[in-house]
Amino acid sequence: LGRDGALELSPTVFFEYPTIASFAEYLAQEHSEVFIKRFGMKTAHTQQNKMGVDAIENTSSSDTVTRLDWLLDSKDAGTQQKATGSASTAIIGMSGCFPGARDLTEFWENIRDAKDCISEIPAERWDWRALEAKKLSDVKWGGFMEGVEEFDALFFGISPREAQLMDPQQRLLMTYTWKALEDAGYAPQSLAGSDTAIFVGTANTGYSELLAMAGNKVEGYSSTGMVSSVGPNRISYLLNIHGPSEPIETACSSALVAIHRAVGVIEAGLSKMALAGGINTLLSAMTHVAFDKAGMLSPDGRCKSFGQNANGYVRGEGVGILLLKSLTEAEQDGDHIYGVIRGTAVNHGGRANSLTAPNPKAQAQLLEAAIRKAGVDPRTVSYIEAHGTGTELGDPIEINGLKSAFKHLYNDANIAAERQQDYQEAHCALGSVKSNIGHLELAAGAAGVIKTLLQFKHKTLAASLHSEPLNPHIKLAQSPFYLLHKTQPWHALKSAQGEELPRRAGVSSFGFGGVNAHIVLEEYRVAPVALESQQGSVVVVLSAKTQDALLRQQQGLLYYLNHTHARISLGDLAYTLQVGRDAMAVRWATTVFDLNELKDKLVRGIDGEQHINNVYVGGDKSSREQYGLLNNDAEFNETILKWLSLGKNYKLAQLWAGGFNLDWHLLYGEVMPRRISLPTYPFAQQRCWVDIDSSVSRQGSQGEPGKQQGATQIHPL
């Protein structure tokens, strides 16, 4: 302020206080000493501290509004809303595919090793050189999934022709929903008739433009293949489930809003389980060009979250699906639990500086609402997966919102303190997976949640890339936050009594239309249970729709057994494969006494050995029909129970391999084994894509093949 420069302000202040009146109030509240020194006078703020409520009542109505605003903005405002707590929701299954990672194992390895997964735009998407030559865009970078064009159409009972005309997002949703269910240990067929819900962040991808360019004839199923709402609807149809089935489109917050909605229906008792997540694919250059012209994209292809050189984000694609269930029921049912959702919140920024400008006050209110709903001590939150898109002002605005929210929460006497912690001690790490894979837009929140759950699993915090040197507008001093410049162990915080607390984290997503979402996650801790020695043999079963897929099932299970670091119960493994997979036509079954025997039989089966003791293979139609006749024979169940009493498990393996639908629960007493995460179905990788004739060199604004219409023409291949 003035020549001496006594008052230093960050540009982010003007986003938080966008009007002259609110900015003046901010100056009076936060910098009254500077004004007193400079002008030799008392501000309204300092006078107000002495006035009290009685004096406020004697002021003009306009002054009253201003002063009441100040009272509501004070640190005591946090006490106006008590911590409510909420029924926790368990995440019991998940699947995903991201840039540089076809599964979650590869995804974790990439973020753990601080790998940058951004690449040049593949020619299979669009020709970035042609766009550059026409001065439409000189941004040639993005985060791309492998296998977007692949789909196992026949597995899902869809003709190759219909599948080719279907938006790839629908195909990917079917594939990764199936994987998420199997990962949770639930046979997809077992959900039939249930009230399971599905909410997915999804929108139009531009695939219809490619179909038009290729001159594809409109078919009866063209509409269902292109409408984004059919994506989740198709899942409900596939699984025969009856819960809500909705697409969510709130731009970059879509996936987190979808999870918020899923948690809501479970808490309300409307659905026992829910599928939620997001998907984003980059198929058409139209949106890419528009975002570049709006100045949103990084020219050098690096998403520099929190960095001084932040210059925009990098677009990315991916799919992430979660299976949710109430924590109480998940524990009762012996489910495998990745983590717990303690609280969620969604809001809108209202009228900010512009339609797409962030509102730090709304972001702060969002965080406060989510943590209050979770009912946890904010001092125990030790990681925030930030939105962190890598923009010069967007990142500091987000940090300011975090600081404001946590300052209010720390001063809230209504939140029971689990940990005595000074606000100024940095103990909460900040990270953003966007620095690894780009901004996944509709699927960004799913990527952030899955990253956080994997950090829980491995007790490791992954580094954020490109954040050094720090953005000068980000001030972390006198706050609980610090940036993750390198991967490090995630040590559990301790309570005032010295006991380890569960690791807790928050995940943020902010849509550029103003919709904000935040989720509070908590590590799930299960009491260690000693693995019991196996009493007798167990029946291990695998099945597939083709012989080739069965072979890949065997290979996948063997690889898992040879490389997993988890302690595996043979009983849990057998039970998961029995009840957590649909029984398909081509079957393989065996009885084993330990894991080494199972690995030996898998190796011999993969090598093509025909006659292995107590290994049974089925799949021919006549055998299935013969054994299928027994499925409705009530008297035959007595025979099964007799075999069980005599320990003749090999009879059950032989029966199931032949085509009999066995009720596996008959093998167990009142206490069932637990479901565990095991390799999922190895879908066929068949190319399912529209082929564009080389003569079609340009795309018109209406998607008409070969029609050239001004500066919006692009070359997709």
- pLDDT for res 71: 28
Q: 608 versus 356: which is more confidently predicted?
A: 608
Task: Show the tokens assigned to 638.
Answer: 């007595």
Task: Give the distance, in angstroms, between the CA of residue 284 and the centroid of all CA atoms in the same chain.
Answer: 24
- 3-class state of residue 326 by DSSP: strand
Three-class HEC string of 36-48: HHHHCCCCHHHHH
Helices (H) and strands (E) in the chain, counts: 25, 18
- pLDDT for res 248: 98
pLDDT digits (tens, 9 = 90+) for 151-196: 999 999 999 889 988 999 999 999 999 999 999 999 999 999 999 9
Q: Which amino acid is at 464?
A: S
Q: 526 versus 9: which is more confidently predicted?
A: 526
Task: Show the tokens assigned to 269.
Answer: 């008792």
pLDDT > 70? residue 416: no
End-to-end CA distance of the chain: 56
Confidence of residue 624 (pLDDT cuts 50, 70, 90): low
- pLDDT for res 637: 73
- pLDDT for res 600: 97
CATH class for domain 92-522? alpha beta
Task: Give the distance, in angstroms, between the CA of residue 623 and the centroid of all CA atoms in the same chain.
Answer: 43
Q: 458 versus 216: which is more confidently predicted?
A: 458
Length of the chain: 717
pLDDT digits (tens, 9 = 90+) for 369-395: 999 999 999 999 999 999 999 988 889
What's the average model confidence in pLDDT over 656-666?
89
- pLDDT for res 218: 66
pLDDT > 80? residue 456: yes
Confidence of residue 478 (pLDDT cuts 50, 70, 90): confident
Which DSSP category does 712 fall into? G
Residue 115 bridge partners (DSSP): none
What's the average model confidence in pLDDT over 670-674?
89
Residues 460, 339, 88, 365: is their CA dihedral positive or negative? positive
By C-alpha distance, which of 343, 410, 340 is closest to 377?
410
How far apart, in whole angstroms, are the C-alpha atoms of residue 95 and residue 180?
5
What's the average model confidence in pLDDT over 549-578?
95
Residue whose tokens read 């290729």: 214
How is the chain split into domains, by residue range? 13-73, 92-522, 538-667
- Exposure string of 72-94, with b = 16+ CB inside 10 Å and e = fewer, is eeeeeebeeeebeebebbbbbbb
What's the average model confidence in pLDDT over 116-139?
94
Q: 351 versus 50: which is more confidently predicted?
A: 351
Answer yes or no: are the C-beta atoms of 77 and 423 closer than 8 Å. Answer: no
Q: What angle do CA 514, 245, 438 make, to 5 degrees?
A: 45
Answer yes or no: are the C-beta atoms of 316 and 280 closer than 8 Å. Answer: yes
Residue 102: C-alpha distances to residues 72, 95, 108, 559 (Å):
49, 10, 11, 16
How far apart, in whole angstroms, are the C-alpha atoms of residue 46 and residue 1?
19
How far apart, in whole angstroms, are the C-alpha atoms of residue 467 and residue 306?
5
How far apart, in whole angstroms, are the C-alpha atoms of residue 436 and residue 465?
7
Task: Show the tokens assigned to 3.
Answer: 């020549």
Q: Which amino acid is at 659?
A: G
Task: Show the tokens assigned to 292.
Answer: 């570049």
Task: Show the tokens assigned to 137.
Answer: 């865009």
The radius of gyration of the chain from alpha carbons, rounded to an integer in Å, stands at 29
How far apart, in whole angstroms, are the C-alpha atoms of residue 98 and residue 319?
7
List Cβ neighbours of 648 (8 Å cut-off, separation of 6 or more): none
- pLDDT for res 704: 34
pLDDT digits (tens, 9 = 90+) for 18-55: 777 777 777 777 777 776 776 665 544 444 444 443 43
- pLDDT for res 326: 98
- pLDDT for res 633: 61
Of the listed ranges 415-419, 495-499, 600-604, 696-700, the least confidently predicted one is: 696-700
Highest mean pLDDT among 29-43, 217-231, 621-635: 217-231
Other Cβ atoms less than 10 A from the Cβ of 531: the count is: 12
- pLDDT for res 526: 84
Answer yes or no: are the C-beta atoms of 681 and 177 closer than 8 Å. Answer: no
Of the listed ranges 20-24, 414-418, 454-458, the least confidently predicted one is: 414-418
pLDDT > 60? residue 710: no
What's the average model confidence in pLDDT over 608-620?
89
pLDDT > 90? residue 282: yes
Of the listed ranges 28-42, 220-234, 273-287, 529-543, the least confidently predicted one is: 28-42
Task: Show the tokens assigned to 173.
Answer: 């949703």
* Sheet of 504-510, strand order: 245-248, 197-201, 273-280, 318-326, 89-97, 339-348, 515-522, 504-510, 381-385, 428-431, 481-483
Residue 471 parent element (H or E): none
Q: What is the pTM of this model?
A: 0.85
pLDDT digits (tens, 9 = 90+) for 417-439: 777 666 557 899 999 999 999 99
- pLDDT for res 671: 86
Q: Kindly report the backbone phi and psi dihedral angles of residue 324, in degrees, each rounded to the nearest multiple of 5, phi listed first.
A: -115, 150
What's the average model confidence in pLDDT over 465-486?
93
pLDDT > 50? residue 135: yes
CATH hierarchy code of domain 538-667 = 3.30.70.3290
Which DSSP category does 149 fall into? T
Answer yes or no: are the C-beta atoms of 525 and 569 closer than 8 Å. Answer: no
Percent of the chain with pLDDT over 90: 64
pLDDT > 80? residue 217: no
Which DSSP category does 457 fall into? H
Three-class HEC string of 98-116: ECCECCHHHHHHHHHCCCC
Residue whose tokens read 């990788």: 685
pLDDT digits (tens, 9 = 90+) for 507-541: 999 999 999 999 999 999 987 766 666 678 999 99
Task: Give the distance, in angstroms, between the CA of residue 513 and the centroid of all CA atoms in the same chain.
Answer: 20
- pLDDT for res 52: 40
List Cβ neighbours of 563 (8 Å cut-off, separation of 6 or more): none
How far apart, in whole angstroms, are the C-alpha atoms of residue 167 and residue 503?
39
Answer yes or no: are the C-beta atoms of 448 and 507 closer than 8 Å. Answer: yes
Q: Mean pLDDT for the chain?
A: 85
Confidence of residue 716 (pLDDT cuts 50, 70, 90): very low
Q: 77 versus 338: which is more confidently predicted?
A: 338
By C-alpha distance, which of 323, 709, 258, 342 is closest to 524?
342
Three-class HEC string of 336-377: CCCEEEEEEEEEECCCCCCCCCCCHHHHHHHHHHHHHHHCCC
